[in-house]
Structure 1
């Protein structure tokens, strides 16, 4: 078992697992009553440096209940002083199911963008559908919208479209056209019948519906993910070819805090975060003044990522019959700009792998690699810890005063997995 180590803010890591267990005693098992520990729902708590791993028997529970428990376990673990990350392992998988099989992206789709939220009711589907409409404006190619919310497929209602879905000559599902969008949703197939899928059945439904849809040639495909951090969201992050994600939140402090934790899940699974949309920021009354709906907060600082747009609480934001609202058009431009900033993080074979090395050796080898490059050449570094501090070291090594000087044409650091970071530096 991994040993505890010192953690930030002078909080000793000794006994961290015990402190997390004590915190989990406050989480109730809604099925049998009592705490998740007393009922045996939580089977193990282990610590690897600042990351807590909680194992729980969630496989036999209904999907919404399992999602709620997993979210409560994650939130409680993260609230324990000294915990930086928390993972919830909830299903016993056979050897051939230990990792989600990544689905090949549609051959003629340039970019796949996921829209997600930590909570329901924040306007995620409205933002996803309006963003897709805005991205379709002024382009010669189609834009697609994939409704991956199996238990609340609201896209058909928003866009006023109905099934049934036809099949192509090759046996693939033909998406429904709504204005400038091509759309696929389980709501077009289920005919408003309640869905009782759970576990592997739900996972396969998301992947197969995505893969079996005849999307055609698309410039962009927007995926409307279910709210929360449950199994379907995790499966989508691990299996669908997502190029970047947009998170949606309200300004409410609880929503912002949960969105921050949701962002961690995306980063742990190697999904680049494009930024956050703050929905329902304010409303204008008949008096002509703007009023905040929620307490003011420094959202950009709290989320540690850019705020792409702050949308007002107005009916026109939810209007799909007329022109795309100006705020959404601006949001689409911001999303395009963020996508342009994301470099291709497919790591080449010649990348310098620094994982497992001590900090002095890691620094020495990174500097040596960077010094050997010519202007315009790219250095790829793989590490098992955040390599951001190397930027100053590399800049100093070639004579720049600091990392913001003329040492880099571009420098990007991104987390691809819990213990895998990539640093791409163009000299």
Structure 2
């Protein structure tokens, strides 16, 4: 029997709590078949004691269903996070050295301005914390489309110190992004295991220093990057970014359900590109109306605020100076600061 047939059977085994299979998640390390015996090695990172036996049982059932298989040997290797004290979640308890709070920014859907939101939120946090003598940072986990360096006006390569990377500095933020590690026009064509490894390196092999808060910009979707992050870092919570229309809110809610399945607290929903304000103060609801508050209500979480559709937000991102810094008195900047204050109070409570 071919190994491809065994892999096809393994592709029917779902990771507990997810609709994706263990093969596409990249946790199947090796497969072998000799004299009727199928051997599978699986490597996972979890502190949930129920997950390894659930995967083992499902793999054994899938392979025993193959007529050619007489015996199944499943080897499961757990990473260091198995030692974590958080037995009720997927993330390790040890966290990122030196980092006190970690907030993920998620959208589920692309095109809603999530990275722009994350950058301005991080800048707002930085301003608030600077007054306390503390510091913030941002980790750009959008592996395939890193845009944080552009929006913060950063380029070049981070320094390497021993086995660790030293984050770049921009607008008083510590910053790490795949955009610093690849050429500007080079596509990142990676499968799940490489994505998982990079996110783990960003959290454990970067000298972040003493940060009161780290903002993590998640890529769109509910795949390898998101799962790797919640398995690697104990998040203080996540913020959902959506635009008002149903095409965005429906996907945002699916992303929220994924986070909830991994015991990540939803801190609230922010509505981006909510309205366009005319010179006379009138508002045009370009992308519809009410989607953000309704999403928050459906998820039983807080609605954090509405960020207007403002040309200056785009201009600030293109120029490398986010609107929170370039136009601090603008309505958009004020909303970002209000959201940052609200979130900071939530994670500190």
Global fold match (TM > 0.5) = yes
Q: Could you tell me whether the CA contact under 8 Å between 1:251 and 1:299 is conserved in 2? A: no
Instruction: Please state how far the C-alpha of 1:288 moved relative to its aligned partner.
Output: 3.8
Judged with a 3 Å threshold, the aligned counterparts in structure 2 of structure 1 residues 175 and 323 are, in CA distance, closer, same or farther, namely farther
Ranges in structure 2 where 5+ consecutive residues have no aligned partner: 1-7, 27-57, 64-73, 83-90, 317-321
Q: Deviations over 1:104-143 (max 9, x none)?
A: 4233221111111110111111111111111111331111
Ranges in structure 1 where 5+ consecutive residues have no aligned partner: 1-38, 61-88, 342-427
Q: In the alignment, does 2:177 pair up with 1:185?
A: yes
Q: Which residue of 2 aligns with 1:242?
A: 235
Judged with a 3 Å threshold, the aligned counterparts in structure 2 of structure 1 residues 245 and 160 are, in CA distance, closer, same or farther, namely same
Find the partner of 1:327 among 321, 335, 349. Answer: 335
Q: In the alignment, does 2:137 pair up with 1:129?
A: no
Tell me the distance in 1 between the aligned counterparts of 2:14 and 2:190. Answer: 29
Judged with a 3 Å threshold, the aligned counterparts in structure 2 of structure 1 residues 172 and 57 are, in CA distance, closer, same or farther, namely closer
Instruction: Please state how far the C-alpha of 1:326 moved relative to its aligned partner.
Output: 1.0
Q: Could you tell me whether the CA contact under 8 Å between 1:112 and 1:242 is conserved in 2? A: yes
Tell me the distance in 2 between the aligned counterparts of 1:146 and 1:244. Answer: 15
Give the CA RMSD over aligned residues: 3.1
Instruction: Please state how far the C-alpha of 1:283 moved relative to its aligned partner.
Output: 0.4
Q: Which residue of 2 aligns with 1:368?
A: none
Instruction: Please state how far the C-alpha of 1:42 moved relative to its aligned partner.
Output: 7.1
Instruction: Please state how far the C-alpha of 1:301 moved relative to its aligned partner.
Output: 2.1
Q: In the alignment, does 2:301 pair up with 1:305?
A: yes
Q: Which has the higher contact order (CA 8 A, sep 6+)?
A: 2
Instruction: Please state how far the C-alpha of 1:56 moved relative to its aligned partner.
Output: 7.8
Q: Could you tell me whether the CA contact under 8 Å between 1:251 and 1:281 is conserved in 2? A: yes
Q: In the alignment, does 2:306 pair up with 1:314?
A: no
Secondary structure of the residue aligned to 2:181 is helix
Write out aligned runs for 1:8-47 (5 A). Answer: 43=12
Secondary structure of the residue aligned to 2:212 is strand
TM-score by structure 2 length? 0.69
Tell me the distance in 2 between the aligned counterparts of 1:99 and 1:234. Answer: 16
Tell me the distance in 2 between the aligned counterparts of 1:310 and 1:289. Answer: 15
Write out aligned runs for 1:244-263 (5 A). Answer: 244-263=237-256
Judged with a 3 Å threshold, the aligned counterparts in structure 2 of structure 1 residues 254 and 56 are, in CA distance, closer, same or farther, namely farther
TM-score by structure 1 length? 0.57
Tell me the distance in 2 between the aligned counterparts of 1:261 and 1:99. Answer: 30
Instruction: Please state how far the C-alpha of 1:95 moved relative to its aligned partner.
Output: 1.4
Judged with a 3 Å threshold, the aligned counterparts in structure 2 of structure 1 residues 178 and 59 are, in CA distance, closer, same or farther, namely closer
Aligned residues: 270
Judged with a 3 Å threshold, the aligned counterparts in structure 2 of structure 1 residues 42 and 108 are, in CA distance, closer, same or farther, namely closer
Secondary structure of the residue aligned to 1:152 is coil
Q: In the alignment, does 2:346 pair up with 1:338?
A: yes
Higher relative helix content: 2
Instruction: Please state how far the C-alpha of 1:96 moved relative to its aligned partner.
Output: 1.4
Q: Could you tell me whether the CA contact under 8 Å between 1:256 and 1:303 is conserved in 2? A: no
Between structure 1 and structure 2, the one with the greater Rg is 1
Q: Could you tell me whether the CA contact under 8 Å between 1:41 and 1:58 is conserved in 2? A: no
Runs of 4+ in 1 over 6 A off after TM superposition: 39-42, 98-101
Secondary structure of the residue aligned to 1:43 is coil
Judged with a 3 Å threshold, the aligned counterparts in structure 2 of structure 1 residues 264 and 166 are, in CA distance, closer, same or farther, namely same
Tell me the distance in 1 between the aligned counterparts of 2:152 and 2:167. Answer: 13
Instruction: Please state how far the C-alpha of 1:45 moved relative to its aligned partner.
Output: 8.6
Secondary structure of the residue aligned to 1:95 is strand
Tell me the distance in 1 between the aligned counterparts of 2:176 and 2:346. Answer: 26
Instruction: Please state how far the C-alpha of 1:233 moved relative to its aligned partner.
Output: 0.8
Q: Which residue of 2 aligns with 1:351?
A: none
Q: In the alignment, does 2:137 pair up with 1:144?
A: yes
